[in-house]
Chains A and B, each alone.
Chain A
């Protein structure tokens, strides 16, 4: 008699498409053959997986069309079967899979849209932080500015794309009836995502604000971050950019050493 483990391996490999014929010797066929009976589970596995992928990547579905998306999702499933009983985990490696598949082609921009959508879903599943706390800011002396460090909102994610990914994503939300024409060569995106109590804010940052926030995320102090942005991007108004980052809740307080922020691109 086949062991339970071997039986499960045989059944699962058929359900996930690794093997073409069902392990029929252990299945009572009756009026339907084993392939047909096990085919129900294969069909279910594909539908459930495609539905979970559609839920994670709604903008990609809209951009690519349901047929292309479902077919691609099933190719992806063959290589990256679900690793959890929690369907919210399905699709974690999809952007990397698309990068391997679409690199250099006309749909290469799907990769960054996928990165944005996955990061959006992760951000949505985080708890919003309370109000910013800059108590003590007025007591800091000029001598301390150089070594000053900021606390970064732990729900913040940064994504940089050479495509206009923010425009593509925001123009393909359900409430937008007919998306405007977006030229893929119109310039890249620097995107910040932050969890608010009732939503996720997705917004574009200018090059200086993005570079400064990234520098802080990498552990830079105010002085070091300021210099790195000037060196990498150019002169800018530090007070104005800091005000912007505090205003969008990216910087939420002061600290002695900098904390990390998620990077998704």
Chain B
């Protein structure tokens, strides 16, 4: 796809360069009734495929007040099965009704032979996987009629036959397809703890202009004897080390729309808003220092 054609695919503008929060059912009523100072909302696409549901109606009402990003977890982009046309069509319908500024998915797979684990499994970073992902992102963007952003995931294993460093894999994917990148800072931290993958070098290796959004989230640490594995649970506040890494990303990449994700053990709305306020404060401080 030509660069001009890619630009035509993305006519819906941008998410404000501010802090947003992940939209969760628990907060629908609070957000509808309050004037919470949240820059924008990110909805998990699959939760809103049916806009006639009560959750769907809440999303449409909130869309009147907030900029929206749609974040998918179920497309299984990296799967070697054919792309799920029903899923794509549902996503396309949702995009048509909600006009999100950003649509994103993951550098992952979660199904094969028609069976799904409904989780984000890692790909080996091989030439074969890269060709496959380029083809899949191209197909998806063509089907949706717009570009998408691809997020780096937390991984609990690495493959011995990987031959491309992950940031280079993402860079080549973005360059070949015109897709944006969604950089999850917590996932970088988790992978650094789990595999010794240098998060700062990752950030430095990513093309800054391709990054459209940052994600921040909490995690948990599971111990197995004398070994540990950090799990990306989205069930806790953003930890200090991730905030520090976020500041590093602000310096290297610049301020980008930043999302606070919290998906389990979900706290009251004001807790999320305080986390978003902290991200906003760091973004502003970065701007002040850069000025």
Q: Interface residues, chain A, CB within 8 Å of chain B?
A: 1-5, 7-9, 11-12, 15-16, 25-28, 30-32, 34, 36-38, 40-41, 44-45, 48-49, 52, 81-88, 90, 124-128, 198
Residues from chain B with a CB closer than 8 A to the CB of A48 are 117-119
B74 at the interface (CB under 8 A from A): yes
Residues from chain B with a CB closer than 8 A to the CB of A85 are 46, 72-76, 84, 87, 110-111, 116, 118
Interface residues on B, range: 35 or more
> Chain B nearest CB: distance from A93 CB in Å?
14
Knowing A125-B52, A127-B52, say if A40 contacts B229 (CB, 8 Å).
yes
Chain B: which residue is nearest A12 at the CB level?
A: B112
Residues from chain A with a CB closer than 8 A to the CB of B161 are 1-2, 26
Knowing A2-B161, A4-B128, A125-B52, say if A87 contacts B115 (CB, 8 Å).
no
* B117, A15: Cβ atoms closer than 8 Å: yes
Assembly CA distance A36 to B229 (angstroms): 10
Which candidate, B59-67, B151-159, B202-210, B249-257, is the interface stretch facing chain A? B151-159
> Chain A nearest CB: distance from B128 CB in Å?
5
Assembly CA distance A12 to B74 (angstroms): 15
* B52, A9: Cβ atoms closer than 8 Å: no
B43 at the interface (CB under 8 A from A): no
Residues from chain A with a CB closer than 8 A to the CB of B116 are 81-85
Contact of B74 among A3, A9, A40, A84 (CB under 8 A): A84
* B87, A84: Cβ atoms closer than 8 Å: yes
Residues from chain A with a CB closer than 8 A to the CB of B72 are 85
Q: Provide the B103-123 mask, 1 if CB < 8 A to any CB of A, else 0.
A: 000000111111111110101
Knowing A1-B161, A28-B158, A37-B157, say if A88 contacts B46 (CB, 8 Å).
yes
B231 at the interface (CB under 8 A from A): yes
Task: Give 5 nearest A-B pairs by CB, closest first.
Answer: A85-B74, A127-B52, A31-B227, A37-B157, A45-B117
Chain B: which residue is nearest A31 at the CB level?
A: B227
* A83, B114: Cβ atoms closer than 8 Å: yes
* B156, A41: Cβ atoms closer than 8 Å: yes
Interface centre among B118, B160, B229 (most CB of A within 10 A): B118
Residues from chain B with a CB closer than 8 A to the CB of A2 are 161
Contact of B124 among A7, A41, A52, A87 (CB under 8 A): A7
* B160, A26: Cβ atoms closer than 8 Å: yes
> Chain B nearest CB: distance from A36 CB in Å?
6
B92 at the interface (CB under 8 A from A): no
* B117, A16: Cβ atoms closer than 8 Å: yes
Residues from chain B with a CB closer than 8 A to the CB of A82 are 115-118
* B90, A86: Cβ atoms closer than 8 Å: yes
Residues from chain A with a CB closer than 8 A to the CB of B157 are 27-28, 34, 37-38
Chain A: which residue is nearest B115 at the CB level?
A: A81
> Chain B nearest CB: distance from A54 CB in Å?
14
Assembly CA distance A7 to B220 (angstroms): 28
Residues from chain B with a CB closer than 8 A to the CB of A44 are 117, 119
- Can you sample 20 A-B contacts with CB below 8 Å? A3-B128, A4-B80, A8-B109, A11-B121, A12-B112, A26-B124, A26-B161, A27-B158, A28-B160, A30-B195, A37-B156, A49-B118, A81-B115, A85-B73, A85-B76, A85-B111, A86-B87, A87-B118, A126-B52, A127-B52
* B132, A4: Cβ atoms closer than 8 Å: yes
Chain B: which residue is nearest A38 at the CB level?
A: B157
Chain A: which residue is nearest B110 at the CB level?
A: A85
* B74, A86: Cβ atoms closer than 8 Å: yes
Knowing A41-B121, A85-B46, A127-B52, say if A28 contacts B159 (CB, 8 Å).
yes
Knowing A27-B159, A28-B160, A125-B53, say if A12 contacts B111 (CB, 8 Å).
yes
Assembly CA distance A264 to B208 (angstroms): 54
Residues from chain B with a CB closer than 8 A to the CB of A30 are 195, 227
Chain B: which residue is nearest A199 at the CB level?
A: B54
Residues from chain A with a CB closer than 8 A to the CB of B73 are 85
* A4, B126: Cβ atoms closer than 8 Å: yes
> Chain B nearest CB: distance from A137 CB in Å?
29
Assembly CA distance A152 to B231 (angstroms): 51
* B109, A86: Cβ atoms closer than 8 Å: no
Residues from chain A with a CB closer than 8 A to the CB of B117 are 12, 15-16, 41, 44-45, 48, 81-82
Contact of B118 among A9, A27, A38, A52 (CB under 8 A): A52
Knowing A41-B121, A85-B116, A88-B50, say if A5 contacts B80 (CB, 8 Å).
yes
> Chain A nearest CB: distance from B167 CB in Å?
18
Residues from chain B with a CB closer than 8 A to the CB of A1 are 126, 161
Assembly CA distance A84 to B75 (angstroms): 9
* A86, B231: Cβ atoms closer than 8 Å: no
Residues from chain B with a CB closer than 8 A to the CB of A9 are 112-113
B248 at the interface (CB under 8 A from A): no
* B46, A86: Cβ atoms closer than 8 Å: yes
- Tell me the chain B residues, 69-106 only, with Cβ under 8 Å from chain A: 72-76, 79-80, 84, 86-87, 90
- Tell me the chain B residues, 21-73 only, with Cβ under 8 Å from chain A: 46, 49-50, 52-54, 72-73
